[in-house]
Structure 1
Amino acid sequence: MTTPTPVILIHGLWLHATSWNPWLDLLRQAGYAPSAPGWPGEPDTVDEARANPGSVADHGIDDVVEHYAKIIAGLERAPILIGHSFGGMIAQKLLGQNLAAAAIAIDAAQIKGVLPLPLSALRATLPVFRNPANKHKAVSLTAEQFRYAFGNAVSEQESQELFERWAIPAPGKPLFEAAAANFNPHSPAKVDTANDARGPLLLITGGRDHTVPESVTRATLKQYRHSDAVTDIQDFPDRAHSLTIDSGWRDVAQASLSWLKNHAI
């Protein structure tokens, strides 16, 4: 009997790992073996994460990459990675290190070399950047800030429900590292975009995303122009940063499954 292909789902800032639960069920039904491990130090539940924000504080990009690399090392075969926001950046780094069979990066945080810095992205991340000391702290969003950064394409009621269900404090360090990436030759946000031997990559972008606007994802695509490996992009014009958790999540998940099927992964 063939062992199901493992899938690791990697969340981004301000969401708990359990926000992937609907995806886990769908991926199991599709014949995969999915899991959604949290970031280093992340408690098991949303309530615990809110009560203990210091548990995730001061974890940077390299910490998170190493954390997931160790999880991958314990698997019998290379997994498929599906990452959202900073999880999408982490997935790209691991794919570039040949630790994954394929990766899907959904509204992925900008990697080194990506130049666009839209005003909406600055506003979405202002709760972190307004205080330099936040680099070493965990920062929470208010419901209003969450609506701007995540829930601007859904109703105010749905955005509030998503905030109450999934939002947790997030470490500020990855945002500071990404912001300085193009000034640091050894930035942890650097991805091996020229790797010809890596597995296929799908970039998904939401056309109404304030946090990672479409211009950032399209600039990310250009970073892969020197690689012969498969790099595809899919646009959801009417979706924002909540596209993996809101009422339209299944459309994004089904598109991901279709892409995997098309590449026989």
Structure 2
Amino acid sequence: MKLDIVHQAAPEKRHPTPILLVHGLWAGVWAWKEHFMPHFASAGYDVYAVSLRGHGNSEGTEKLFTTRLNDYMKDVHEAVLSLPQKPILIGHSNGGMVVQKYLQEHTLPAAVLLGTMSISGSWMTFLRGLKNDPALFLKVTFTFNLQHLVGSPERARTAFFSNTLSAEKTARYFQQMGRESFVAFLDTLFVQLDPRKLKTPLLVLGAERDFFFTPAQQQQTAKAYGTTAHIFPNMAHAMMLEEGWQEVADHILNWLGLEISRL
């Protein structure tokens, strides 16, 4: 599987451990390029981002509908093996679930779950959506098409962004959103993770106004791994693109500085 892996080198490399960024639903490496990649590079890290199969410029578009969650985990493994050494993993949303699954079998220097899918999967999110907007979520279910959740700039804003994000940015991000695998979504309904298997130092970050995964879900995930989630106020799901993204990125850098110093 040929994967789209983008690299941004640190102008002044101050950290030997690279960072690998893993996107969530409807996204690709584009979600990291604007803010997080240059910011982490300027802090002295070599930064990589991967588009999972069927996303961005990676292969697999023709088989996207039947792509499984484990396929995405294989993509992360392939990306990790392509790097000069074991990286720090940062996974957003569904990418956070992929990272959690990967860390069931592999240990890395550190990992960050950013607005992650809960350790218990997506059942609670789906049931909450069915309660709040039954017509929309029934449409998604009976058409096997997740695209209805982000089918317009307005829906994309509801799902991903705060009202403070400009219309220009919202439209630009919406234009880059791709399609998704309904089969992989079904996998997340029945995912089983054993938190005892995770040996990697872990940071869990959530957003107060996250449409998909509530602060309570973030705390549930963090508690399962023996830590506490940090929740950013007045922020929506796409934390790497929201106004205030730098506060999130700097929180990660500060935590990494403490964790890497312990290695």
The alignment's TM-score, normalised by the length of structure 1, stands at 0.79
Of the candidates 84, 90, 93, which is equivalent to residue 76 of structure 1? 84
- The reply on whether 1:4 has 2:16 as its aligned counterpart is yes
Find the residue that maps to 2:113 and give its secondary structure: strand
Amino acid at match of 2:186: F
- Quick check: 1:79–1:101 contact (8 Å CA) kept in 2? yes
- The reply on whether 1:60 has 2:62 as its aligned counterpart is no
Amino acid at match of 1:203: V
Question: Which residue number corresponds to residue 184 of structure 1?
Answer: none
Amino acid at match of 1:148: T
Distance 1:34 1:130, change over 3 A: same
Please list every run of 5 or more consecutive structure 2 residues that lacks an aligned counterpart in the other structure: 1-12
- The reply on whether 1:259 has 2:255 as its aligned counterpart is yes
- The reply on whether 1:130 has 2:132 as its aligned counterpart is no
Find the residue that maps to 1:194 and give its secondary structure: helix
Distance 1:95 1:146, change over 3 A: same
Q: How many Å apart are 1:232 and its aligned residue?
A: 4.1
Question: Which residue number corresponds to residue 98 of structure 2?
Answer: 90
Amino acid at match of 2:89: L
Distance 1:248 1:150, change over 3 A: same
Instruction: Report matched runs for 1:25-36 at 5 Å.
Output: 25-36=38-49
RMSD in angstroms over aligned alpha carbons? 3.1
Of the candidates 169, 174, 188, which is equivalent to residue 179 of structure 2? 169
Find the residue that maps to 1:68 and give its secondary structure: helix
Per-residue Cα deviation, 1:137-186 (whole angstroms, up to 9, x for no partner): 6736222221211124534625633533532222222222222x2xxxxx
Q: Quick one: distance in 2 between partners of 1:166 and 1:34?
A: 21
Using the aligned pairs only, state the percent identity.
Answer: 25
Q: Quick one: distance in 2 between partners of 1:114 and 1:42?
A: 21
Q: Quick one: distance in 2 between partners of 1:160 and 1:110?
A: 26
- Quick check: 1:147–1:159 contact (8 Å CA) kept in 2? no
Question: Which residue number corresponds to residue 3 of structure 2?
Answer: none
Of the candidates 23, 32, 35, which is equivalent to residue 20 of structure 1? 32
Per-residue Cα deviation, 1:188-226 (whole angstroms, up to 9, x for no partner): x33331136x1210110101111111121112123224x
Question: Which residue number corresponds to residue 108 of structure 1?
Answer: 116
Q: Quick one: distance in 1 between partners of 2:122 and 2:61?
A: 30
Question: Which residue number corresponds to residue 192 of structure 1?
Answer: 194
Q: Quick one: distance in 2 between partners of 1:173 and 1:164?
A: 23
Instruction: Report matched runs for 1:195-210 at 5 Å.
Output: 195=197, 198-210=199-211
Which runs of at least 4 in structure 1 moved beyond 4 Å after TM superposition? 52-55, 113-129, 131-135
Instruction: Report matched runs for 1:222-261 at 5 Å.
Output: 222-225=223-226, 231-261=227-257
Amino acid at match of 1:78: K
Q: Quick one: distance in 1 between partners of 2:52 and 2:108?
A: 18
Amino acid at match of 2:245: W
- Quick check: 1:114–1:223 contact (8 Å CA) kept in 2? no
Find the residue that maps to 1:63 and give its secondary structure: helix
Q: Quick one: distance in 2 between partners of 1:251 and 1:219?
A: 23
Which deviates further from its counterpart, 170-179 or 56-65? 170-179
Amino acid at match of 1:264: I
Q: Quick one: distance in 1 between partners of 2:15 and 2:102?
A: 22
The alignment's TM-score, normalised by the length of structure 2, stands at 0.79
Find the residue that maps to 1:170 and give its secondary structure: coil
Q: Quick one: distance in 1 between partners of 2:133 and 2:252?
A: 26
Find the residue that maps to 2:89 and give its secondary structure: strand
Please list every run of 5 or more consecutive structure 1 residues that lacks an aligned counterpart in the other structure: 182-188, 226-230
Question: Which residue number corresponds to residue 167 of structure 2?
Answer: 157
